[in-house]
Amino acid sequence: MSTAPTTPEFSDEDIDRQLAGESVRGPRHWRGRELAPLSRGLRSVRNKVIAPDDTAEFHDVALLHILGEAHAATEELRLQARRALILATDDTTGFRASISLLLDACSDVEIEEARRLVNEILGLVEKAEVVLAEKKTDSPVSAVPILTPMPSPRSRQSKSSAAPPTSPAGS
């Protein structure tokens, strides 16, 4: 007899911290640069410049480059860094070209480290998103959907209509 693992209860604040990557103590570094915690805003910036058919290495390097560019010590510098990132990613082709050149400059060891870091970072996000989804489905409001019957298109037709309905082909 096996028992399912229990999911720890997280407050909304805990979930926000996990989504922001703050649940892991200590800053992360890649290629000598400190990385900003992952946030919803930075995920959006990354999503502007990646495509589904990009390689995993491209995705990893793009995310870590964005997190490196976004890191700042003060709120003012953080705002400046975010503004610069948004402007840079508005030129999608230029930004993707810079990521491609960065990918070329990375050693196999750096690519492997990027993969490990991204798996660690996104693993936290996925865990927090699952917990958030579970919390939403456990809500009594969403537990029982309210079904409102909709009249069928045929029942809306006038019963006094003498002509039978025609198909789109006119038959």
Residue 133 forms part of a structural domain: yes
Is 68 part of a structural domain of the chain? Answer: yes
Asked whether residue 69 is domain-assigned, the answer is yes
User: Domain limits at 87?
Assistant: 12-142
Structural domain count of the chain: 1
Residue 145 above 50 pLDDT?
no
110-114: average pLDDT? 95
- The answer to the question of residue 18 being in a domain is yes
Residue 28 lies in a domain: yes
Determine, yes or no, domain membership for 168: no
User: Is 158 part of any domain?
Assistant: no
What was the pLDDT predicted at 146?
Answer: 45
State the burial class of residue 125 (Cβ atoms within 10 Å of its Cβ: 0-12, 13-18, 19+). Answer: middle
Q: Mean pLDDT across the stretch 87-96?
A: 96
CA torsion sign, 124 to 127 to 133 to 136?
A: negative
Instruction: At 147, list the tokens.
Output: 């079904």
